[in-house]
Amino acid sequence: MQLKQVIIAYKARDSQSKRWAELCAKQLENRHCQVLMGPSGPKDNPYPVFLASATQPIDLALVLGGDGTVLTSARHLAPAGIPILGVNIGGHLGFLTESVDEFEDTEKVWDRLFEDRYAIQRRMMLQAAVYEGQRTNLEPVTELYLALNEFCVKPASADRMITSILEMEIDSEVIDQYVGDGLIISTPTGSTGYTVSANGPIMHDGMEAVTITPICPMSLSSRPLVLPPGSVVSIWPLGDYDLSTKLWMDGVLSTSIWPGHRVDVRMADCRAKFIILRENNSYYQTLREKLLWAGTRVRYSNNHRN
């Protein structure tokens, strides 16, 4: 990999990730690399400035923070095909990031990147837009939104809990009307996020599939669905015109939707590219460690592996 121009995004208002960012920027500049650096957070979005001010193709995005920081980077950088190296500094679970232990000797990391001693993992994303009127209307009334984890359609109100009524179609065929707290449309990457909290299935992040998971449905027959990646999921909010239903992408508000609108969700044209430094990268080990499954916590003297 050539490192001529690199983005460094660090978790906003986190002093530890900022210190690491400054150290990495200095080391890369000593290797004659041009660095664009800035904070990323709910009130800080450096990526439009990064992309607009780049004087040559961006070779790498180094993202220092947690999963939320990496999700933001993927939404902005995946369309440009920029590989992301996420490092868990200041984050919590770290499903999408390399451990800081893999990153302690940063000079060795740059050597590995220069010498192409790494792997690239490509993960599917979802795209969504809001349309008005009949299904024959294919002109969106919003911008195109991207998500690496999931899109969520659910109501929001400051003064009371709201039950939503959502009608869902798959490939133009009506499937069900859901009464409850909303719907989650997820990628395999997002299956270990909000989806698993709503009792959805966990899917290997190397798959291409779309999962639909109802949130607290008022019917025992409303179950999660796993769809092929080419499916188009359409969601129509029904009922009260005075209540605003929201479309969320990776936990971030996209837009409000109202009766008469529909949300179409499908597999995105682009994929997020992640750099993997771990030599023995295992999805199942990540599940054991991050979800604290019993095999990582309990040790028995009569275990069959002893």
Q: Examine the pLDDT at 306 and tell me if it is beyond 60.
A: no
User: Token pair for residue 23?
Assistant: 């150290």
Flag whether pLDDT at 265 surpasses 60: yes
- pLDDT of 304 reads 67
Please give the share of the chain, as a percent, with pLDDT higher than 90.
78
Rounded Cα–Cα distance for residues 127 and 186 (Å): 11
Nearest to 192 by CA among 100, 122, 290, 92: 290
Question: Residue 111 has which token pair?
Answer: 């050597």
Strand partners, 146: 127
| Secondary structure E strands in the chain | 5-11, 34-40, 60-65, 84-88, 119-132, 145-147, 150-155, 164-170, 173-180, 182-186, 210-215, 225-227, 233-238, 245-249, 252-257, 261-276
Mean pLDDT for the stretch of residues 215-231 = 95
Mean pLDDT of 178-194: 96
286 vs 39, residue with greater confidence: 39
What was the pLDDT predicted at 125? 98
More confident residue, 102 or 84: 84
**What's the whole-number average pLDDT of the chain?**
92
What phi and psi values does residue 210 have, to the nearest 5 degrees?
-125, 130
Band of the pLDDT at 244, cuts 50, 70, 90?
A: confident
Q: Is 240 a catalytic residue?
A: no
* 244 Cβ contact list (under 8 Å, min separation 6): 155, 156, 157, 256, 257, 258
61 has pLDDT over 80: yes
pLDDT at 87: 96
pLDDT, tens digit, 9 for 90 and up, residues 232-242: 999 999 977 66
Report which of 299, 232, 267 is spatially closest to residue 78, judged by C-alpha positions.
267
pLDDT higher than 80, residue 300 = no
Q: What pLDDT does residue 159 have?
A: 76
Q: Check whether 81 has a pLDDT greater than 80.
A: yes
Q: Is the predicted pLDDT of residue 97 greater than 80, yes or no?
A: yes
**Quick one: 23 exposed, middle or buried, by C-beta within 10 A (0-12, 13-18, 19+)?**
exposed
For residue 248, pLDDT beyond 90: yes
**What is the per-residue pLDDT for 239?**
79
Give mean pLDDT, residues 244-254. 94
Which pLDDT tens digit goes with each residue over 130-174? Answer: 999 777 788 999 999 999 999 999 988 777 778 899 999 999 999
Q: Which residue has the higher pLDDT, 287 or 210?
A: 210
Instruction: Indicate which residue of 14, 67, 176, 250 is catalytic.
Output: 67
Residues in the chain: 306
* Residue 82 neighbours by CB under 8 Å, 6+ apart: 7, 58, 59, 60, 61, 273
pLDDT at 56: 93
Is residue 22 a contact partner of residue 15, using CB atoms and an 8 Å limit? no
- Please state the pTM of the whole predicted model: 0.92
Residue 285: CB partners within 8 Å, gap ≥ 6?
none
User: Taking 70 as the threshold, does the pLDDT of residue 297 lie above it?
Assistant: no
Judged against a pLDDT cut of 70, whether residue 295 lies above it is answered with: no
